[in-house]
Each structure stands twice: as structure tokens, then as C-alpha cells.
Structure 1
Amino acid sequence: MVNKSRLVDTFIELVKIDSETKHEGKFQKYLKERFQSLGLEVIEDDTMAETGFGANNLLCRLPGNVNADAIFFSCHMDTVTPGLGIKPEIREDIIYSDGTTILAADDKAGIAIMLETVALIQENNTPHGTLEFVLSVGEESGLIGIKAFDMRTLKASHGFVLDTGGPVGSITVGSPTHAGLEIQIDGTAAHAGIEPEKGISALEIAAKAISQMKLGRVDFETTANIGIIEGGTATNIVMEHVRMVAEVRSINSESCEAQIQHMKDLFEKTTAEMGGAITIKVDRKYSGFDFNADNTVVKIATEAMAKLGMTANHEVSGGGSDANIFNEQGKETTNLSIGYEKIHTVHEYIPIRELEKATALAYEIVKQVVTK
């Protein structure tokens, strides 16, 4: 029932509107008018002052026409760079950019799916409960927009984020808790050629601690990485200061905390032994979730896929999305694959067939909620 031509036209139109992170204003205005033209109530929050981003979040609501549970779908408005002046091209039923920019299927494919789903519901007078569509800013910069969104404005308690790559059919059933660490080690400067014995190298402290540290894939649930190391001013000065930025991710929140403590203990112990000073800041960016087949959103999506002849793939992700924040704040939410590939690169693409399948799935989810 998906109108392929309209769906593709909508997607092409969306990706041509620039909306790199922190510059979502023009695109947000377009979406606000587009959802209003479909007869939805559109609520714009007032989070720009808090987030510093280029627009507020949007909540678009289609009242139910039958007595059924409310659900929501969510996408983000912002894109990564290079995302200005996108020129989409269709080759052999696959949509690409012209190779100089991203395509922005992440996440404008999800928004196109939202709009086509609303159109299908209205054209077919499809029975549905209240449907809510959340459009966030700043997802690509640490889920900033959705963190500021007031979840109390949502009537629905269960939702589906349309923002995962790969073939349609995957349901995200697990996503990690994610923490960032900023480590500052202070040693003592000295002339490296004349009197290095009088110095305490911050770099040597860091190196000795790191050499004892569990990093990379710590276990099947947990990863840790030190991604930035900065320090030093000249080769003839014993390095006085080192700044490092690290991260820890784990599906198991206790394992995440244990890895953070492991890293802190080694840095602090080694610094004390070598006579330096240290400051460690931990930023817990978002909490993880761990679903099983009995979770409501997993059951709904799995049953909808079965209706469409798909076999559901329950997938654990190593990354986070707006779904993490919804779950953290009490809204049971999964993330669904919608077909795009090679995101965040100029080689990004989406097969039109996958875009159609993802739309059919969103539409079937709406119907499934009514019949369950």
C-alpha cells in the first residue's frame, strides 16, 4: 500500500534541506509546516536556550480514532557533516548523494517514513490509537535535543525510534550505558637535556598506568577506549601536563561502573607512586537498556514483521541513540533498522525497496497496536 513515488519524492525533498547539527532551524520550520498541513497538532518546545542548538524539538500528534494504546515514533532532524547542498541521485533503484556530501538518510529516511505512514493512515481511514511523532535536534552531538525534551508531554509510554542502519528487520534489544572520562595528569617540568632527573613526566605516568589497563573489548558486554591524548610544549622540556579523553560502554551498567573504577584506580595509584597530581571527571552520558522477547515494543515490532513475512532479528547495538534517553526516562523504546548503509560517509546510500519496507513496517506497527 506504500506510495513508492510519493515516498521517494518526500525523501528527496527532505535531504535537499540543509540541517547540519546546530543548524536545524530551516528544516524544523519546514517539518512544522508539513505536519500541520497533514492536520496534526504540532507542539514546539523551548529548549534552544538550554541546548544552544539551531531549533527546538517538535512533538506532532495525531489523535486516535479508536480506543487503543498511544504509541510514538521518533527521529532526529540534524545531520553530520558534510551535509550542505546535498544532491541526491537515483541509480538502479538505490538513492545516493553525488559523492561530495552525505546522503542524510540518517535520519531523513526515518522522517520520510513518518510522513508516508501518516498519509497512508489518512487515505485508508486506518483505525489507530493516538500517534505521536518526536523530532529532536542535536542527536549527532550526544543526544542533546532529546535529553532536554520534556517526556511528560508525551501521552504514549511505548515508542519506536526509526534510526538504525542495515536491512529492515532488525530490532535493537540492547544498547550500552555510555560514560566519558576526562583525565588531567600534572607532573613537574624540567630541562630534558640538562636535568631530566628533576622532572616528573606526566606522559610517563600516563603510559605506565595505561600499560596495565584493560582496554578495547574488555568482555562481551563492555568496551573501553582512550581516544585523545594531549600534552607537551617542546622536546627539551619534561612533559608537565597530559590531558586524556576516554570512554566506557557496556550493556551491563555494573560492568560499566567496574571498568570506570578500574581505570580511575590505575591512574590514581600510578600518579601517586610517581609523585604527580591527577584530576578525573566522569560524565555519564546515557544509560543502556536490555530487552527480551517479552518487552512490549519488541513483541509489537516482531509481530508486525511476521505479518509482512519478515523474520525479526533481535540485535544488540554497541552505540546509543535517542532510544537510550527515552528508556532512561521511563518510555519503553526500541530502535528499528530502516535500510540505510554507510552512514556518516559520502558513500551513504539507501535502497528504495528498503525505504518501502520500513514504511510498511511502521504502518503495520500502527495496525498491530489496535489488534493486540
Structure 2
Amino acid sequence: MTDTVTDRFLRYVVIDTQSDAKSKSQPSTAKQLDLGKLLVEELLAIGLTDAHLDEHGYVYATVPSNTGKNNVPVICFCAHMDTAPDFSGTNVKPQVIRSYQGGDIRLPGHAERVIRENEHPELKNQIGHDVITSDGTTLLGADDKAGLAEIVTAAKFLIDNPDIKHGAIRILFTPDEEIARGVEKVDLQKLGADFGYTLDGETVGTIEDETFSADGAEIAITGVAIHPGFAYGKMENAIRIAGEILARLPKELTPEATKGKDGFIHPTEVSGAMEAAKISLIIRDFTEQGLKDKEKLLEKIISEVMTAYPGSRYTLKITEQYRNMKQVLDKNPEIVENALEAVRRAGLNPVRGSIRGGTDGSRLSFMGLPCPNIFAGGHAFHSPLEWVSSQDMEKAVTTIVELAKLWEERA
């Protein structure tokens, strides 16, 4: 078994681990367990004797402390095993472009799919790097199998180099992060960490301490069904009602029209028939007030549409998904500051950023485990144009090692 971060990454991405939001099981798809079992085997092989996969699909392991200090905090490094349901993750065929020399990257499995340099400006920083993509027919899975590979590789490096002093390091690999259920059954008492870091970020050198706050919304519409030949003045078509609600959602509050700290209202699924229809949406904002304002706007739109359909009715259910982890991390500034310093020690210029999305760390932070996000190096997540460079993954490995050293030094 070879053990570079790239070797590991290439092993992991060919295992299909897509999660499924419609499934009620934990994990949502049994195939995620295939990768979990492989990860346990590899962790045991490098000497982490407590590595195991639990009944809920979580992988736990420990790199034991090797320092004489008894006040070094226990750090957790976390990554997720599932890939997004947005695009196929079945039969991934990774390709490695050795010593990339610039220009567009044509994906061999799909003639119309091209990673264009002008659309992916970070490619200009990859000259001489080994760039990994899919063949264009699937996503790659760098989100978040790059993070998995980086954590396992860093753990092996620490085990193989006992002269590097560090405290106890806990490893947590989760299922179902992409469907916002990644940490629902994490046993924090068993984990026993003081705080954590997810390896689930994008551009090299970036540390993220802020995410969206996120809610899900489900609209259920019950119309008035009747034979269309006798429908005059009587039918109230639930499909048409759903269409009117969607048409009234402000275009300026869509994902494609927002950036930076702007939030959005985003329909993700519509289904129905004449008598009943459902709309699923996600609502995002960086502030609690912004989230509430968008939910009030959504209900106002629905109620206004429904006034034209007196025989019909609706329900709107709002479900909390996660909250902006900055609320927690601002109370523990040293967790982020040490991560930024670790990036510097890895030879990079650190960038403090915000995520227009969420990570397992968003939920973990509010469960009592403050948890910012470290870059993993991937780009164009959830799409067939996804890519990552071997050298950026190696920098993530170095950052993990430097962070472990840093906490021991400063204890």
C-alpha cells in the first residue's frame, strides 16, 4: 500500500459514497460504509489501535499524545465521507495531469465539459502542479475525500516521526454531511476533544471561521381537484399554485444573483399533481435576522398567492439546519489564530474567509465543539468540473502537522 496523500485520495474517490436526503436511515446510504471500512483498515495499519466504525457510520480514531505536558488540549480533525447528491459519484475515473502548464483542461469522458482557465482563476496558481480531475461524467469527490486523505496522511506522518511532540489528536470521519445530517449522532463524550477543525475548505491557505446560518422550508399545497371538462369556476390546480409561488420569489434573492455576504431563498425540489403539490427550499443568510426576514417574505408570498384560491390550503414548515459558527468561534479566538499561524508555518499566506455554505463544524460548534474550517484544496465542488492539486493537498497535510505542534508548544 502506498501512502502519499495523492495515493490515498485516488483510492478513496473511486468508492461511490453519495448521500441521499430522502433516505431515513443512518447513514443515508449503505455504500458510505464501504469507504468507512477502508479508512478503518488504513488507520489501523498506520498504528491507530482504537480506529473503528460505529453503528451510525462514524469513524473514530486517536493519535496518542507523545508529550510530557499534561495540559495540551485534545484536538479533533474531521472530514466527511459522503459526496453530494447534486451530480453522479458512480464510477469515478480520476485523471492526473502531471506538471500542469496552464490553459483549459478538457475532460476526456465528455467533449462539452472543459475546466476553463478564465472561469477557474485559481488554475493560474497551479503551474507545475499535478492537477486531478474526473473524466467529466461524474464529480471528482475532492469534497471531501481530499480532507480524508490529508488527515490520514498527517496522522501517519506524526506516528512515523515521534520526535514531533503533540497532544492527543482525535480523528472523526462523518457520513451525510452533504445532506446536513453529518453530526446528528456523533458521540462527543466518546470523542473527548476540546475543539476541532474540519478539513473541508477550498483554496489553499484559507481558514474559514464563518458560515451561513441555514434553514430548510417545506411547502405543502392542497388544491381542489375536479375533472377538467367540468372545472370552470371550481378547479384549483395545486401545480399552478406552486408555479405562482415560485414565480414570485425575488430574482435578486437567488443563489445565482447573490455573492459575498448576501443570503438567498433557493427552491431545490418541486413535485405534485392537480390535487396536491410540494416545494422544498433552502434559506441562507449570515445573520439570524436575515434568515427570519427571508422566512417572513416567503410566508407573505405564499399567503398572497393563496388568496386567489379560496378552496385550497397550505402548510409551511421551517426546519433549522445549522447556524453561523462565528458566534461560537469569536468566543474562542485562539482556535482560529493558531490555525492561521499553522498556515504561515506551512509556507503560505493565510486568508481568513467566510463560507457561502456550511460544514460539519457549523453544527459541532453549537454542540460544544468549536470547529473552524481548514482548506482541503478542492475547487468547483458538486460538479463534473471539480478539481484539486496534489501539491495543495500536501500543504494541507503540513498545516495539520504544524497545528498539532503549535498547540503542544503553546500549552
CA distance change for structure 1 residues 11 and 212 in 2, over 3 Å: closer, same or farther? closer
Letter in 1 for 2:90: L
2:258 paired with 1:223:
no
User: Structure 1: how far apart are the matches of 2:153 and 2:243?
Assistant: 54
| Deviation readout 1:35-75 (Å, 9 max, x if unpaired) | 1222222243322xxxxxxxx21111122122311111001
CA distance change for structure 1 residues 183 and 101 in 2, over 3 Å: closer, same or farther? closer
User: Structure 2: how far apart are the matches of 1:74 and 1:212?
Assistant: 40
The 8 Å contact of residues 269 and 279 in structure 2, kept in 1 or not, is answered as yes
Pick aligned residue for 2:359 from 303, 315, 321: 321
User: Under a length normalisation based on structure 2, what TM-score does the superposition of the two structures give?
Assistant: 0.77
The equivalent residue for 1:33 is 41
- Measured after TM superposition, the shift of residue 191 of structure 1 is 5.4
CA distance change for structure 1 residues 101 and 246 in 2, over 3 Å: closer, same or farther? closer
Letter in 2 for 1:254: Q
Q: CA RMSD in A?
A: 2.7
Pairing 1:134-213 to 2, within 5 Å after superposition = 134-140=172-178, 142-165=179-202, 167-190=203-226, 195-202=231-238, 205-206=241-242, 213=249
User: Structure 1: how far apart are the matches of 2:83 and 2:266?
Assistant: 25
The equivalent residue for 1:46 is 55
- Measured after TM superposition, the shift of residue 173 of structure 1 is 1.8
Letter in 1 for 2:159: Q
User: Structure 2: how far apart are the matches of 1:348 and 1:184?
Assistant: 35
Pick aligned residue for 2:89 from 71, 83, 88: 83
User: Structure 2: how far apart are the matches of 1:185 and 1:99?
Assistant: 38
CA distance change for structure 1 residues 13 and 278 in 2, over 3 Å: closer, same or farther? closer
User: Structure 1: how far apart are the matches of 2:244 and 2:16?
Assistant: 47
CA distance change for structure 1 residues 201 and 169 in 2, over 3 Å: closer, same or farther? same
CA distance change for structure 1 residues 86 and 296 in 2, over 3 Å: closer, same or farther? same
User: Structure 1: how far apart are the matches of 2:138 and 2:241?
Assistant: 42
| Deviation readout 1:261-286 (Å, 9 max, x if unpaired) | 33224423542564121122222222
CA distance change for structure 1 residues 86 and 226 in 2, over 3 Å: closer, same or farther? closer
- Measured after TM superposition, the shift of residue 19 of structure 1 is 3.3
CA distance change for structure 1 residues 123 and 265 in 2, over 3 Å: closer, same or farther? same
- Measured after TM superposition, the shift of residue 202 of structure 1 is 4.0
2:4 paired with 1:6:
yes
Pick aligned residue for 1:70 from 65, 68, 74: 74
The equivalent residue for 1:343 is 381
User: Structure 2: how far apart are the matches of 1:247 and 1:116?
Assistant: 35
| Deviation readout 1:85-105 (Å, 9 max, x if unpaired) | 433332222223344433322
The 8 Å contact of residues 19 and 78 in structure 1, kept in 2 or not, is answered as yes
SS at match of 1:178: strand
User: Structure 2: how far apart are the matches of 1:155 and 1:355?
Assistant: 27
| Deviation readout 1:268-312 (Å, 9 max, x if unpaired) | 354256412112222222222225596232111111122233222
Pairing 1:293-312 to 2, within 5 Å after superposition = 295-312=333-350
* Range with bigger deviation, 292-301 or 90-99: 292-301
The 8 Å contact of residues 75 and 170 in structure 2, kept in 1 or not, is answered as yes
The equivalent residue for 2:32 is 24
Identity %: 25
* Range with bigger deviation, 204-213 or 144-153: 204-213
- Measured after TM superposition, the shift of residue 259 of structure 1 is 1.8
User: Structure 2: how far apart are the matches of 1:163 and 1:271?
Assistant: 42
The equivalent residue for 1:109 is 146
SS at match of 1:28: helix
| Deviation readout 1:315-354 (Å, 9 max, x if unpaired) | 1111112111211211110111211122333332211111
| Deviation readout 1:224-279 (Å, 9 max, x if unpaired) | 123333344xxxxxx54332222211111232123213322442354256412112
Pick aligned residue for 1:119 from 133, 151, 156: 156
Equivalent residue pairs, number: 353
Structure 2 gaps of 5+ residues are 20-28, 99-129
The 8 Å contact of residues 74 and 194 in structure 2, kept in 1 or not, is answered as yes
SS at match of 2:283: strand
CA distance change for structure 1 residues 77 and 213 in 2, over 3 Å: closer, same or farther? closer
- Measured after TM superposition, the shift of residue 129 of structure 1 is 0.7
User: Under a length normalisation based on structure 1, what TM-score does the superposition of the two structures give?
Assistant: 0.85
CA distance change for structure 1 residues 368 and 265 in 2, over 3 Å: closer, same or farther? same
Letter in 2 for 1:179: D
2:65 paired with 1:57:
no
Letter in 2 for 1:90: V
